[in-house]
Amino acid sequence: MLPDKTLSMLKDPEIIDHLKQTGANRRKAEDQLFNNFVYFIQQGMRKYSLSEEDALEVYSDTILSAIDTIVSGTFEGRSSLKTYLFRIFNNKCVDHIRKLTTNKNKIHRNTSSPDLLSQLSDSAKSIIQQMVDRSDLDLLRAKLKELGDNCREMLALFADGYSDKEIAMTMQYKTAEVVKTSRLRCLEKLRQSYNLLKN
Amino acid sequence: MDSLEYIDNYFRGLLTEEERLALERRVLSDPAFAEDLAFYINAGSLVKEEVLAEKRARFKTLYDQHQRTTARRPPVRRLWAYGAAAAVLVMVAGLWWIFTRNAGPEKLANRYIDRQLTNLPVKMSSVQDNLQMAVSLYNEERFTEALKKLQDILQKDPGLIQAKNYTGLVYLRLKEYDKALEYFQQSAKDTTLYSNPALFFESLTLMKRDHPGDAVMARQLLQEVVDRNLDKKEDALQMLKDW
């Protein structure tokens, strides 16, 4: 693991490299990325008249969206991180204002479902979308909290973009296959406890 | 194969094309399987929500720490910083004024793209259609993904002018001007639409490409947009004024 001082001096390629790693290095790179451009928040407040709370929320979304893009390997590196983040931040500020003016106050979150849904064909997507909309998310959330710590950590790492191999290294499992089996077992357990009460 | 594993493999891209199609067919014919798939998406979505909530809370703490550190800085030092910033700003504004009096076609195009084409409007909808998703990807500068989505759309509906224009814009942003021109020229041929900015975009692309003769052609196209009262007439007029 790198000491804090070294990490605080990281340049773009090194931050990108650390974000693609696991554990403490990745977490520190995320914090570093957030700290590097935190002054955008003031710009959001001045340029778009956002409240401090809203500007912080938009900026946090910007960083999370950029981390997602970098970790998934879709960041093409055509511009510096600063330029890239600045563009996303401005777009998100405009989106935020549009949502406020159309009375849709719920801020866009980077949840995984739209991404996953978009992978389906249109006919399958509309069926699944209806089922997703009908789901009892509060019940599912409650059942998720009842899962054991190991299961929750494993599912959280997976949702955060870690591969089974990286989860195996982080959580000290023997192989990626063991992680995959355990992860699917956790999901199965969650599905059963959810279906039991849902039906 | 267990249904959750099958679904997991699907979303992780581990299935063959044939297996992928079989899964999508099964969604249409097997409601219990479709429920499993919806569950998989919901569970992933909720877990990710928790992960993001934890990160947002961490960022909030970082921001509070940053604010406390900034508040502790002596005011005189900040005054100097503001003074220096103001001086730099005056210099930059002066230089900007000098260099942009006669902007030139490429600079005009750059300015327009920066102001008008980096964040295209996305329609509000709970379920995004593919075109809107392509626009969102474009706005996030995920050009390769946007292009793929647009090509899928055009494969299904080759006559969709909006998709052609967006494809042209992606190529424009990728600096692949010849391809951008190809799409805008195809799109401009369609005169049935009430609003089609293709001719204006074609002019913008020529301004960016800047080959011999491009600037003259770009100017003629702008004039044509004005004369024929086409979409983006006001922008074309302004550009002709600033030329």
Contacts of A116 in chain B (CB under 8 A): 11, 40-41, 44-45
Contacts of A69 in chain B (CB under 8 A): 140, 142
Mean pLDDT over the full length of chain A:
86
| Residues B218-238: tens digit of each pLDDT | 998 999 999 888 889 999 999
* Rounded-to-integer distance, Cα B52 and Cα B73, Å: 32
pLDDT at A114: 57
Beta-carbon separation of A132 and B8 below 8 A = no
**Cα A78 from chain centre:** 22
Q: Secondary structure of chain A: what % helix, strand, coil (to 5)?
A: 75, 0, 25
| Residues A116-169: tens digit of each pLDDT | 888 888 889 999 999 998 899 999 999 999 999 999 999 999 998 889 999 999
Residue A52: pLDDT band (50, 70, 90) is: very high
Instruction: Calculate the CA dihedral of residues B130, B133, B138, B141 and round it to 10 degrees.
Output: -130
Q: What is the DSSP letter of A48?
A: S
Beta-carbon separation of A60 and B56 below 8 A = yes
Asked which of A109-113, A181-185, B136-140, B237-241 is least confident by mean pLDDT, the reply is A109-113
Task: Give the minimum alpha-carbon distance from B15 to chain A in angstroms, rounded to a whole number.
Answer: 13
Contacts of A92 in chain B (CB under 8 A): none
Contacts of B8 in chain A (CB under 8 A): 180, 184, 187
Instruction: Calculate the CA dihedral of residues A101, B55, A189, A141 and round it to 10 degrees.
Output: -40
- The 10 Å Cβ neighbour count of residue B152 is 13
For residues A50 and A93, the answer to whether their CB atoms sit within 8 Å is: yes
**A120 and B CB contact within 8 Å:** yes
pLDDT at A9: 64
Task: Give the minimum alpha-carbon distance from B227 to chain A in angstroms, rounded to a whole number.
Answer: 33
- How many residue contacts between A and B have a Cβ separation below 8 Å? 157
Q: Residue A139: enclosing H or E segment and its boundaries?
A: helix A137-146
Closest residue on chain B to A136 (Cα): B42
Q: What is the DSSP letter of A21?
A: S
Q: pLDDT below 50 — which residues of chain B?
A: 126-127
**B141 and A CB contact within 8 Å:** yes
Outline where DSSP puts E strands in chain B: none
pLDDT at B98: 66
* Rounded-to-integer distance, Cα B85 and Cα B79, Å: 10
Higher local confidence (pLDDT), B67 or A198: B67
Beta-carbon separation of A140 and B46 below 8 A = yes
The CATH architecture one would assign to domain A4-101 is: Orthogonal Bundle (1.10)
pLDDT at B170: 95
B109-242 CATH choice from 2.40.400.10, 1.25.40.10, 1.10.287.980, 1.20.1260.10: 1.25.40.10
**B127 and A CB contact within 8 Å:** yes
Do the interacting molecules here have an ipTM over 0.85? Answer: no
pLDDT for residue A4 is more than 70: no
Domain boundaries, chain B: 3-66, 73-102, 109-242
Alpha carbons within 13 A on the beta-carbon side of B179: 12
**A43 and B CB contact within 8 Å:** no
Give the predicted TM-score (pTM) of the model.
Answer: 0.58
For residues A27 and A34, the answer to whether their CB atoms sit within 8 Å is: no
Domain boundaries, chain A: 4-101, 129-194
Beta-carbon separation of B62 and A129 below 8 A = no
Closest partner CB to B142 (pick from A74, A120, A156):
A74
Token pair recorded at residue A51: 């409240």
| Residues B152-180: tens digit of each pLDDT | 999 988 888 989 999 999 999 999 999 99
pLDDT at A156: 94
Residue A56: pLDDT band (50, 70, 90) is: very high
Beta-carbon separation of A156 and B47 below 8 A = yes
pLDDT at A110: 40
